[in-house]
Amino acid sequence: MTTLEVLGNLKKITGAKVAVHKDDEDYIKEEKEPQEPFVSKIFIKLLKMIFRPKTVRPDILLKDNNEIGGYRVIHTPGSICLYNKNNKVFFL
């Protein structure tokens, strides 16, 4: 099962909203390919042909410095980090 399929299933089962950084939205919806080495791109395309992953539509688009539950959003390519300056907690 691919990451997107797991994400889609979690969203369906729990009713949770999917939050993604606005710069990564097209990757989650699979409208844009991640920047990977050429050999990896071929391997990923083959896997997609075999497993046919489903796309997930994000519910919340984040930007750098947005706050979620007291945590500041920091964009990293393909992901986000969350930082709470009061508690000195940093999630990767």
pLDDT given for residue 1 in this prediction: 64
Tokens of 24: 């990564």
pLDDT given for residue 26 in this prediction: 81
pLDDT in tens, 12-26: 899 999 899 998 888
pLDDT given for residue 38 in this prediction: 55
Is the model more confident about 4 or about 88? 88
> Would you state the torsion angle of the CA atoms of residues 74, 7, 68, 15, taken in this order, to the nearest 10 degrees?
170
pLDDT in tens, 68-86: 999 999 999 878 999 999 9
- 24 in Cβ contact with 78 (< 8 Å): yes
- Give one word for 30, left, alpha or beta, with left for phi > 0 and alpha for psi -120 to 50: left
pLDDT in tens, 31-56: 555 555 555 556 556 655 665 556 78
